[in-house]
């Protein structure tokens, strides 16, 4: 069987199982197995494929047909033009979160800063920021041991492990440090809304990284309250929030002595990130 025939069979199976990106996913699975760029695969479609590759391809296509996210199947997700390792222990990095990285990098470019990433997951935020701000150092914390393993793997992979420590701790247990910048993409989905998420999210991604409690603000509040005690004066809290949460988040920030510095809107014009300065 050649690559073209194999791709066609994979695409058909995924289409039948209502995977909208059936053709692309089929191509990405095969190019990953062959350790080739997708473009290179597409110009060599007549190439014969080994029996072992066919078996592996069919196994991975079956997982995708059951709605498992492609990032978990390939154990990889591109973020900030870097290839991050992912597995089921951590939330898959989202393109919107790059907006948070972009804003922070612009604000602190060429500065020597100490960063804390609360709920670090794969480490994608703090590692992307450190890759651009060469004088910066930081700590990433997460209550999930599995997520910390993933983040450590990524810091090594990106050659940043000398400038970042990843610690399996809850934010309540962080004291004795002061930071110039705190970044966080906390869980912000209402518990009652989780059942409405797409199958690939609700069935496969860690619930702990999604569930923000009754109003979606449980962890956001904790991040703001904690930041109030460990940020340096005029330090910045950069927070990703959910749809329709800006008004309430804005009120909590004011109560805790923060002044909004910048609002970042996403591709649908919702306020997605809030950057606020701690006034002390």
Question: What's the rounded mean pLDDT across residues 248-277?
Answer: 94
- The residue from 33, 66, 99 where one domain ends is 66
pLDDT band at 267 (very low <50, low <70, confident <90, very high): confident
CATH number at residue 27: 1.10.8
- Encode pLDDT of 239-259 as tens digits: 999 999 999 999 999 999 999
Does the pLDDT value for residue 185 go beyond 90? yes
Residue 279: predicted pLDDT: 86
User: Are both 147 and 184 inside the same structural domain?
Assistant: yes
pLDDT of res. 173: 87
Per-residue pLDDT for 209 more than 80?
yes
Q: Dump the DSSP string for 156-212.
A: HHTT-TTTEEEEE--GGG--S--EEEEEE----B-GGGGGGS-HHHHTTS-GGGTB-
Q: How confident is the model at residue 272 (pLDDT cuts 50, 70, 90)?
A: very high
89 and 123 together in one domain: yes
Same domain for 217 and 185: yes
Residue 72 within any structural domain of the chain = no
Query: What integer is the mean pLDDT of 81-110?
Result: 95
**Looking at the DSSP assignment, which residues form a beta bridge with residue 138?**
115, 164
- Spatial strand order of the sheet with 258-265 comes to 164-168, 137-142, 114-118, 179-184, 231-240, 271-278, 258-265
pLDDT score for 171: 87
Structural domain count, the chain: 2
Q: Are residues 45 and 86 in the same domain?
A: no
CATH number at residue 81: 3.40.50.150
- Considering the domain architecture, whether residues 273 and 240 belong to the same structural domain is answered as yes
* Distance in angstroms (rounded) separating the CA atoms of residues 2 and 4: 6
Is the CB of residue 68 less than 8 Å from the CB of residue 241?
no
pLDDT for position 175: 81
**Model pLDDT for residues 119-172, shown as the tens digit of each residue:** 999 999 999 999 999 999 999 999 999 999 999 999 999 999 999 999 999 988
Whether 140 contacts 161, CB under 8 Å: no
Q: Which of 15, 42, 66 is the last residue of a domain?
A: 66
Evaluate whether 131 touches 162 at the Cβ level (below 8 Å).
Answer: no
Contact by Cβ (8 Å): 238, 184: yes
Domain enclosing residue 100, as ranges: 77-278
Are both 164 and 267 inside the same structural domain?
yes
Considering only 17-21, 86-90, 176-180, which range has the smallest mean pLDDT?
176-180
Tell me the per-residue pLDDT of 114-131, one tens digit each, with 9 for 90 and over.
Answer: 999 999 999 999 999 999
**Domain shared by 57 and 84, yes or no:** no
Q: Are residues 249 and 181 in the same domain?
A: yes
pLDDT at 260: 95
> Does residue 71 fall inside a structural domain?
no
Q: Considering the chain, what percentage of its residues have pLDDT values greater than 90?
A: 91
Position with higher pLDDT, 175 vs 49:
49
Residue 186 resides in a domain: yes
215-224, pLDDT tens digit by residue? 999 999 999 9
Mean pLDDT of 71-88: 96
Quick check: is 144 in a domain?
Answer: yes
Alpha helices per DSSP H over the chain: 3-16, 22-33, 38-42, 51-65, 70-74, 97-108, 124-132, 145-157, 199-202, 218-230, 246-255
- Domain boundary (41, 66, 91) is at 66
User: Over the range 241-268, which residues count as b (16 or more CB within 10 Å of their CB) and which as e?
Assistant: bbeebbeebbeebeebebeeeeebebee
pTM: 0.93
Side-chain half-sphere exposure of 180, counting CA atoms within 13 A: 11
């Amino acid at each position: 069987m050649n690559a073209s025939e194999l791709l066609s069979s994979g695409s058909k199976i995924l289409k039948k199982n209502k995977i909208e990106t059936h053709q692309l996913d089929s191509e990405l699975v095969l190019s990953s197995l062959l350790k080739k760029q997708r473009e290179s695969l597409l110009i060599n479609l007549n190439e014969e494929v080994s029996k072992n590759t066919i078996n592996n391809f069919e196994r991975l296509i079956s997982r995708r047909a059951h709605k498992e996210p492609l990032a978990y199947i390939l154990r990889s997700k591109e973020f900030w033009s870097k290839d991050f390792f992912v597995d089921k222990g951590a939330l898959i990095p989202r393109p919107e979160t790059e907006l948070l990285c972009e804003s922070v990098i612009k604000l602190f470019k060429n500065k020597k800063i100490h960063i804390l990433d609360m709920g670090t997951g794969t480490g994608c935020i703090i590692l992307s920021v450190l890759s651009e701000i060469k004088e910066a150092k930081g700590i990433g914390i997460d209550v999930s041991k599995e997520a910390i393993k993933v983040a450590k793997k990524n810091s090594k992979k990106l050659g940043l492990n000398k400038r970042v420590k990843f610690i399996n701790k809850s934010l309540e247990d962080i004291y004795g440090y002061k930071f110039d910048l705190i970044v966080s993409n906390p869980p912000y989905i209402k518990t009652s809304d989780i059942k409405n998420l797409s199958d690939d999210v609700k069935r496969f991604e860690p619930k702990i990284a999604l569930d923000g409690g009754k109003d979606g603000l449980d962890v956001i509040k904790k991040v703001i309250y904690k930041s109030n005690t460990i940020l340096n004066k005029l330090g910045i809290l950069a927070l990703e929030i959910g749809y329709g949460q800006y008004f309430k988040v804005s009120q909590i920030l004011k109560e805790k002595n923060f002044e909004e510095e910048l609002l970042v809107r996403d591709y649908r014009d919702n306020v997605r990130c809030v950057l606020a300065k701690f006034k002390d």
